[in-house]
Amino acid sequence: MVNAIYIIVAALGAAFLLGLLKSEKRGTAYVITLFALSVMTWISAGWVWAFVMERAAPVDFLTGGTSPPFSINFRMGLPEAVLTLLASLTGLLSALYMKDVLCALGQRAMAVLLVAVMALTGIILTRDLFNLFVFFELAIISTAGLMLLSEDARALAAGFKYLIVSQMLSVFFLIGIIFAYHATGTLNIDGMATASLGLKAGGAIAFFFLFIAVVAELKPFPANGWGLDIYESAHPGFAAIFSAATSSAVIYAVDKLLLIGGAEWLPMATGIGVITFLAANLFALPQTNDRRLLGYSSIAQTGLILAVLGQRDILGDNVLYIAGGLLLSHAIAKAGLNWISGLVAGRELPDWAALRSRPILVFAFVTFIAMLSGLPPFPGFYAKWEMVRILAGEGRIALIGLILLGLLIEAGYLFRWFGYIIKREVPAQSVRCSPFQISAIFVALASGWALGFVWGELSNQYFGHDNLLLAIPVVFALTFLLLDWLPAWVKNSIAIVGLSLFFYLTFSDYDPLRMIFAIIFLIGGAVILLASYDSKGRRIGFYPATMLMFAGLILLIRATDTFGFFAAWELLTIGSYFLILRGKHSEPHALSYIIFSLGGAFLILAGFALAAQGAPLFNIDALAQLTQPLAPWVFLLLAIGFMTKTAAIGLHIWLPGAHSEAETDVSPMVSGILLKAGLFGLIVLLMTMGKQQLYGVELTYVMLWIGALSALLGNLMAIFQEDAKRLLAYSSIGQMGYALFGLALMNHLGWLMALMFVINHYIYKSMLFLSAGGVAKRTGTRDMYRMGGLITLMPLSFIATLIGIIAVSGVPPLSGFGGRWIFYNAIISSEYRLPMVIIFLAGPIAFLYLFRLIHTIFLGQLKDEYRKIKEAPFWFILPQMIYVALLLAFAVAPGVALRRVDTYLNQIFPGGGLQWTGTEISSAYGYWNPVAIMIIIAVIFGTLFAWLLFVNRKAQKVKQFNIVYAAERPYRPETTHFAWNFFAPYRKALGFLVQPFATRFWDGVTNTLHTAADISRRLYNGNGQSYAFHLLSFVVIAYLMRMGA
Amino acid sequence: MPFDWMKIPYSLLTLFIVVNYGFFLNALIQKMGARAGRRYGIPIWQNYVDMIKNYGLRSSITHGAMFYLGPVFRLSGGVGLLLFVPTIYGSYMFSNLSFAGDLILALYFIFFGTLGMALGAGESGHPHAAIGVSRGLAQVSTAELPFALAVFAVALQYQTLSVTEIVAAQQGGFLQWTLFTNPLAVAAAMLGFLGSMMRPPFDVVIAPQEIPIGPPTEYHSAYLALMQTNRAIFPIAKIVIYMNLFFGGASDWPTFFFKVFLIYLWSAFVGVVFPRFRVEQSIRWFLIWAVPLGILSIILV
Amino acid sequence: MKDELKIRVVKGPDGVEFEVEPLKDYYCEAAPTVMPAAYIKVVEDLFNWARSESIWILGFGTGCGAIEMRPLMTPRFDAYRFGVQWRPTPRQANLFVISGYLSTKTLKRAIRSYEQMQNPKYVIGLGSCTINGGMYWDSYNTIKRLDDYLPVDLYIAGCMPRPEALLAGFQDMKKLIRAGKAEGANLYAENFEWYKANQKRVIHDWDMPDYNW
Amino acid sequence: MTYIALATGFLLILIGFYGALTNRNLLRMIVAFTIANSGINVVIIAIGYMHGRTAPILDATVSAADALTRVIDPVPQVLVLTAIVIGVGVAALMLVFAYKLYERKGTLDISKFAELKW
Amino acid sequence: MRELHTKLKSLFPVGDLTEQRSNLGFVTVPQEHLRAVLVHLRDREGFTHLVLLTAVDWLEAGQFQLTYLLSNRTAGKDLGVRVMLARDGATMQSIHDVWPTAATYQRELREMFGIDFPGSPRLHEEFILEGWNDIPPYRRDFDTLKYAQENYSERPGRVTHDPAAHMKQKLNSGGN
């Protein structure tokens, strides 16, 4: 291997060489710079290769021919190798990226850049304290120098502020060094560590100064105003270095210092880190400037990593895996985002909509924010999982809470930003970029995915988890990224075949319970995808997102351990988020969806981590073995997490918008299929953990209430909607309430009913959404009162809706009735009475909105402008007709699906099941015979119909205004169609129940956060002196807290 | 279980008896209402005549398929409801088609006709029809609640959903009736009953002068005749459920006639005395007076 | 003609413009046909008996005579006992009592309501105004002979006739129906052209289809 | 003696910080930092000084053999040298900034350079 | 009433007061002052209610007389304000903004007398006469009998008696 010193030598040598060149020879200078950086990269890459592939041992490189403490030594180990690679590669790519700027500025700029990169590698490599200081100062000077060269006039001030702060820091640093030296007699870091600096006289204070000086370089809250200014005003290429490489190097320096300080300094690191993480994320919320936002995010991420370093006492060796994962994710993502920011002309966040003209950039962006938010399959996700798992195992719950809260806020503003990109108007100035710039971003993108793979492998190796990027469904989903150039119908066929094939290959794996979900997820998904044939063109981005969601879903039911389950959960969440975001006006709704979902996911994560008690691999079935006092808390966390997905009341506000604003074929997917994921989670939870008590409160009883209230309020809100898809969305809340109620009953029939609801709700809600979507497509509106009388023009859609509403309402002979019948039988055997009152009230209310749905769309008066519309497209109708057939079949023979489940449920709830004799189904209380019901009703209906046909054979068909109208006649269909505010009296009587309490509550939460952030970020008033003061107070406070503790 | 074909003629016999009794009872109740208003009232056969006349009308119009199907739904709902519940306790002949399902089937089948009718009325395109349906649905959503609670209380009390078994449990003297064993449930149910009979004070749905008879505004001729037939069957079918659940059922036809008459009389009695509620008033009324009774009944049972 | 009834150009959701002609598109244009009686005489007799015993009157008061109909529902006269009752919608009514003078404006509504009733349907002209104009014989705005415009089965003279007279009129109407002589609806269909010509002569702004189904 | 030097050093640092925090003029701030830098140099020297020993220069008077007992620790001296160099560099850079900032806005008041905030 | 008249007279060029009863009087005002008078009466004198607005056709004088009958509820007084209009091309300013109800009266007057009220809402919509094709029927030069005979078919056999002669004959013969 090449001596690591050559990394520094290469940079220094090249920098000197540049100084010798004439100023005209900029091209040559640029080539030299690139060459030097490439050499550095190559050397570090070689070392990484050596450590990873050949398992080489760390090597010390001595200078001056003697060993420390008499000389400075550099150490090259795996972390150093990776970090130097990171620093030099970032430098190289940024140099490529800044080609035009560098060539315009000349050799001086290139030399400074080289020095900067060299200084950073120096910080990483050196094991000598004073040398560290020197490299620090070099880094500072070169950073300031680069700021001097920035195009942005404001960068000057930023650079000066930086210098002020660094002057103060260097004072602290030097004081620390000299006292530490005085105490230990060595400047070598390892030497100091072995000499246990802290135990020496004045050692603690010396280390405090050292520590604080280095930590302050990480821009801890509140002493970080200067850092933000640099992020905001520096050239993005340089900001990438500053964010990715400098932070990483300094973090590593902190890590080295902590070696000296020992375990007693860890809490301080954690404290500073967490506070910084939270504060920076919070302050980022009201940010509108993209680069400043990136700055806040960078500060937050380094804070998080610092906090993780502070946990090394319990993380042990895993700290490399976790902090490394976070650090690399952060570095790559931030470098990439900063590079992208250079391509965008406007500095407001919505200006980034310009990226839409280049899908690859959008993909890069989303990759980067997924890395930052710790979403699978990126290293951050694995790191997050392991970190929370270990922290929970050690009982550091508060820390988990704070970290997850910060992550949620961060995901909030990042995804809001992504929403702007996808949804806002594309600004006039488009993206301008050179191939160099694109390639820099592309390298970041590729390394992001590669790292995802590496971390997956590591996770597999050390913790026994599966590598997500090797899971077949995920691979299948990602394949669509490569196939995105194909026309939509080809991709659609591939997707349908893929889903069906996967089911065919795996259907023997599932127990009857999972089988139901597998069929709904895979076959059901394939059926809904039939509707997607209607889309023309290429539909960029649709199929990767869809298939990612399906991958998540299928992995969810196949998961055996909590990690797999959680990973699947996050995958389906992101997939569905992208899907929902595709809707025309879905930006705010998709955002609230992802925030609620991630919030729920974090609760699940915390729950799983708490349950695992530190065990790296925790089987889901092992949840059953949990005992007091842990079990109810785990139950609570998981239940709330899952109920977020089923949109239980209070957590429901994301659903109506998300489901109704989604595209026509997406709505049935997210409603008919995705909601079932939450139910599946609950089923798994209840199956393993059963009833739990917390402070004497039966938690399933609470769920019963939540279910009942969801059913009631969901239905009640549905009847007041004017928007057809919104109505259906609220109805989903109600239906999920029923299912939740059934599960919470915790008896055999309750579960059977819930599963029946799962099947039924999939069929009829998908059908109704497709039908409503088809109508909306033809009429160009979703407002029901603007439609009317479409029955003659869209008879098939009408039939689908008719069958759908009969099924939803539970009227015999369709399958909804079976659900109601089991429901009644289930509640009789349960001892809970009061919640039933609520759910009884919910039942008839369903009729109200269902009638409104069919009446105001298909019946009543046809409007002028819709006189010529056609039936919904064939591809919308086809799945609807399949559903009609399914509903009828399921109505006649529910046993096909339920019988096996019924038997299976005996394992969980022995007894209390149904008797299946012939076509009759009976319970301990009652009986019904679906076939007989169907036949009887058909015969009665047919007879009467024939009779009426006979009597009325000469009926004159009349038109829509041939109605009695008190001897007058209608003039306009609009004023004759009674549709708007259909249930006005109901609003008068019970409208108080549908006050948007939940919406107000959550609005209040977000507004409070925003306002608090907006007020407190005024701390950063832009005055360099204030920043100096912040720094000083930070030091004083840190000192007081440290010494006080 | 092989199907017993004799069930069909037996059921038709039940249907025949009930239709006629329904026509008779409707007229009788109307007459009693007239007498309360010091009028002589209609001839007792008037409803037959009206029905024949409506079948005898020569012309008719149709607004479309659903308009056509509305009355069919309606009458199927009535007939089905009747046939899904055993009429005479202990009689094989008049157990009708109750083998197909239990109480829950009957309860949910009530909505079959209502829904179909509402759809048919909807297709007529008449705003009054829609207004009537809107009112009807709004009112029924709370009127059904006390009844559902009472039914549930009864089911809990007897631990069964089979109508026959519930009746069986009430045999052995009238003190065994649910009326006396669970008076709260019966009180709640009977208040709910008022709401489902389309009589004052809960007849704002068809408010004849305001929204000319609401949903059936456009119906006439044979459509109307079908609906009239249903008006003979449906109340009886409903009352049969009440009778079976709360009043010990009937083990022979005279008892049946008598009990049905008395239960029907209850709604007529209230109907001739009270003026009409607006929808929100009746919703509040049910929630304030009837629902608490129902809640009490299921808690105390 | 009202603006709402004129032909208008409408833009569909797909952006294509097309014409809507309200009178054509929103109203059925078919002419009424003669509806034959039941093929079997006994059946027709039964129906006629039923029709006579179940007279449903359209609750539409066209003139001052409407006041005279209300007492019929009261205990004093109680027309219900004769099978007579009022229906609020023409679809379900069989008998149209033109209760007094008809201004041309009301005539239009009366025609519309009459045409919305189902065959067989009957018309009774109540009071002298319907017979020959009565005290409005020289009015610029009321018609003077109802049977020019609608097929009247029976006139009840008087100004105004008392409710008793109306009851008597109903009894006569019953006889007519039972005898199969009340075929006004078919008469109207047969002489449709003539009736329409008469109607259009006095209704100057004829802005509805010829037959209001 | 050492303590006097130490105290002087710290006093200089504090004076420097005080000056930097209270003066809005860029040049005064730079001067203040230079004072603080001098202070830190004094501190380093003071700490590194060993009473009664001589400078770590190996020549005729001090041979390599008895250097260990006669000279003071050379490392702090080296540190100070380096620190001075770096300090000069930074001060020069700050002056460049001050110059450029003045060029841009015609003022040296640091509170006027607050476009970047929040 | 007289006080009111005196007061009005001091403010507007109103004509003499015709006192029907102690609490009902009529004054005539020039057309151009009507609005001011009405507003004054409404806002200052408490005549808040427009009871009716009607017209009389003085064919011989070639004038229409409009009567705005106002009522002071609290004082129990009614005051009719009369305006004389030229019959040819009769036009009057609308007061629908003073009393919204006036719009309906004006619509009726337009239809029955042919008096125009520019600016009055829905003025030209048909009110009672649908499809009217003759001169407005309340004008005295409109011959209603002739119109009826021309337009509405008559049942033969109708006899018309002069009421006075007929009743005399009837009474005499009855008296015998």
pLDDT tens digit sequence for A389-409: 999 988 889 999 999 999 999
- Per-residue three-class SS string for chain B: CCCCCCHHHHHHHHHHHHHHHHHHHHHHHHHHHHHHCCCCCCCCCHHHHHHHHHHHCCCCEECCHHHHHHHHHHHHHHHHHHHCCCCCCCCCHHHCCHHHECHHHHHHHHHHHHHHHHHHHHHCCCHHHHHHHHHHHHHHHHHHHHHHHHHHHHHHHHCCCCHHHHHHHCCCCHHHCHHHHCHHHHHHHHHHHHHHCCCCCCCCCCCCCCCCCCHHHHCCHHHHHHHHHHHHHHHHHHHHHHHHHHCCCCCCHHHHHHHHHHHHHHHHHHHHHCCCCCHHHHHHHHHHHHHHHHHHHHHHC
How confident is the model at residue E173, as a pLDDT?
Answer: 66
Chain A residues lying within 8 Å of C116, measured CB to CB: 962, 964
Between A and D, how many residue pairs show a Cβ–Cβ distance under 8 A? 132
CA distance B32 to chain A (A): 31
Question: Distance between CA atoms of A62 and A135, rounded to whole angstroms?
Answer: 17
Nearest CB among D16, D21, D117 relative to A1021 is that of D117
Neighbours of chain C (3+ CB pairs under 8 A): A, B, E
CA distance B213 to chain C (A): 7
* Predicted confidence (pLDDT) at residue B211 exceeds the cutoff of 80: no
Are the Cβ atoms of A972 and C4 closer than 8 angstroms? Answer: yes
pTM over 0.80: yes
Interface residues of chain C, partner chain E, Cβ below 8 Å:
103-105, 108, 131-133, 137-145, 148, 198, 201-206
How confident is the model at residue A94, as a pLDDT?
Answer: 92
E36 touches chain C (CB under 8 A): no
Least confident of B37-51, C191-205, E34-48, E149-163: E149-163
Measured CA to CA in angstroms, residue C151 lies from A375, A502, B155, C145, C192 at distances of: 82, 76, 61, 11, 10
How confident is the model at residue B75, as a pLDDT?
Answer: 93
Are the Cβ atoms of C110 and A967 closer than 8 angstroms? Answer: yes
C24 touches chain A (CB under 8 A): no
Both tokens of A48, joined, read 């990484």
Instruction: Answer for the pair B240, B82: CB distance below 8 angstroms, yes or no.
Output: yes
At residue E71, φ and ψ (nearest 5 deg) are -130, 135
Are the Cβ atoms of D21 and A1032 closer than 8 angstroms? Answer: yes
Q: Where are the domains of chain B?
A: 7-300
Q: Please, do chains C and E touch (3+ CB pairs < 8 Å)?
A: yes
Beta strands B61-62 and A956-957, pairing class: parallel
Number of Cβ atoms within 10 Å of the Cβ of A893: 16
Chain A residues lying within 8 Å of C21, measured CB to CB: none
pLDDT digits (tens, 9 = 90+) for A263-278: 888 888 999 999 999 9
Among C2, C5, C101, C138, the residue to mutate for chain E (most E Cβ within 10 A): C138
pLDDT digits (tens, 9 = 90+) for A894-932: 888 888 888 888 888 887 788 888 888 888 888 889 999
Residue A673 per-residue DSSP state? I
How confident is the model at residue E174, as a pLDDT?
Answer: 56
CA distance E137 to chain C (A): 7
Chain B residues lying within 8 Å of A795, measured CB to CB: 65
Read off the pLDDT of each residue in A38-53 and give the average, rounded to a whole number.
91
D49 touches chain A (CB under 8 A): no
How confident is the model at residue A967, as a pLDDT?
Answer: 86
Could you tell me if residue D117 is inside a domain? no
Mean confidence (pLDDT) of chain A: 89
When pLDDT is cut at 50, 70 and 90, the band that residue A382 belongs to is: very high
| Nearest residue of chain A to residue C32 (CA atoms) | A956
Q: Who's near A398: CB < 8 A, 6+ residues apart? A: none
At residue A25, φ and ψ (nearest 5 deg) are -80, 60
* Predicted confidence (pLDDT) at residue B11 exceeds the cutoff of 60: yes
How confident is the model at residue B208, as a pLDDT?
Answer: 65
Among B47, B58, B221, B226, the residue to mutate for chain C (most C Cβ within 10 A): B58
| Nearest residue of chain C to residue A865 (CA atoms) | C12
* Predicted confidence (pLDDT) at residue D54 exceeds the cutoff of 80: no
How confident is the model at residue D1, as a pLDDT?
Answer: 67
pLDDT digits (tens, 9 = 90+) for A222-249: 888 888 888 888 888 889 998 899 999 9
Cα torsion A557, A563, A564, A568: sign: positive
Read off the pLDDT of each residue in A732-746 and give the average, rounded to a whole number.
91
Both tokens of C106, joined, read 């009301």
CA distance B187 to chain C (A): 35
Instruction: Answer for the pair B194, B205: CB distance below 8 angstroms, yes or no.
Output: no
**Helix/strand/coil for E71:** strand
How confident is the model at residue A839, as a pLDDT?
Answer: 86
When pLDDT is cut at 50, 70 and 90, the band that residue C49 belongs to is: very high
* Predicted confidence (pLDDT) at residue A208 exceeds the cutoff of 60: yes
Nearest CB among C133, C141, C148 relative to E129 is that of C141
Instruction: Answer for the pair A749, A825: CB distance below 8 angstroms, yes or no.
Output: yes
How far separated are the first and last CA of chain A, in Å rounded?
Answer: 46
Chain D residues lying within 8 Å of A158, measured CB to CB: 116
pLDDT digits (tens, 9 = 90+) for B57-115: 999 999 989 999 999 999 999 999 999 999 998 888 888 888 888 888 988 888 888 88
Domain C41-202 = CATH 3.40.50.12280: yes
When pLDDT is cut at 50, 70 and 90, the band that residue C175 belongs to is: very high
Element (H, E) at C196: helix C192-202
Are the Cβ atoms of C22 and A961 closer than 8 angstroms? Answer: yes
Range of the domain at D46: 2-112
Q: Where are the domains of chain C?
A: 1-30, 41-202
Chain D residues lying within 8 Å of A159, measured CB to CB: 97
Which residues pair with residue A33 across a beta bridge?
none
Write the CATH number of the domain with boundaries E2-155: 3.30.460.80
How confident is the model at residue D59, as a pLDDT?
Answer: 75
Are the Cβ atoms of A840 and B148 closer than 8 angstroms? Answer: yes
At residue E64, φ and ψ (nearest 5 deg) are -105, 140
When pLDDT is cut at 50, 70 and 90, the band that residue A1004 belongs to is: very high
Least confident of A807-816, B208-217, C123-132: B208-217
Chain E residues lying within 8 Å of C133, measured CB to CB: 148, 152, 154-155, 158
Q: Which amino acid is at A282?
A: L
B15 touches chain A (CB under 8 A): no
Are the Cβ atoms of C118 and B220 closer than 8 angstroms? Answer: yes
* Predicted confidence (pLDDT) at residue B1 exceeds the cutoff of 70: no
pLDDT digits (tens, 9 = 90+) for B179-207: 899 899 999 999 999 988 888 888 887 76
Q: Exposed, middle or buried, A975 (CB in 10 Å: 0-12/13-18/19+)?
A: exposed
Mean confidence (pLDDT) of chain B: 89
Residues 64-83 of B with CB under 8 A from A: 64-66, 68-69, 71-73, 75-76, 79-80, 83
Percent of chain E whose pLDDT exceeds 70:
98
Read off the pLDDT of each residue in A1025-1040 and give the average, rounded to a whole number.
90
Q: Which of A11-25, A444-458, A617-631 has the highest mean pLDDT?
A: A444-458
Chain B residues lying within 8 Å of C211, measured CB to CB: none
CA distance C188 to chain A (A): 17
| Nearest residue of chain B to residue C52 (CA atoms) | B53
Among C1, C11, C20, C26, the residue to mutate for chain A (most A Cβ within 10 A): C26
Are the Cβ atoms of A791 and B1 closer than 8 angstroms? Answer: no
How confident is the model at residue A810, as a pLDDT?
Answer: 87
Between C and E, how many residue pairs show a Cβ–Cβ distance under 8 A? 64
* Predicted confidence (pLDDT) at residue A197 exceeds the cutoff of 80: no
Are the Cβ atoms of E132 and C204 closer than 8 angstroms? Answer: yes
Between B and C, how many residue pairs show a Cβ–Cβ distance under 8 A? 86
CATH (domain of D12): 1.10.287.3510
At residue A811, φ and ψ (nearest 5 deg) are -80, 135
Question: Distance between CA atoms of B242 and B260, rounded to whole angstroms?
Answer: 9
Chain C residues lying within 8 Å of B224, measured CB to CB: 92
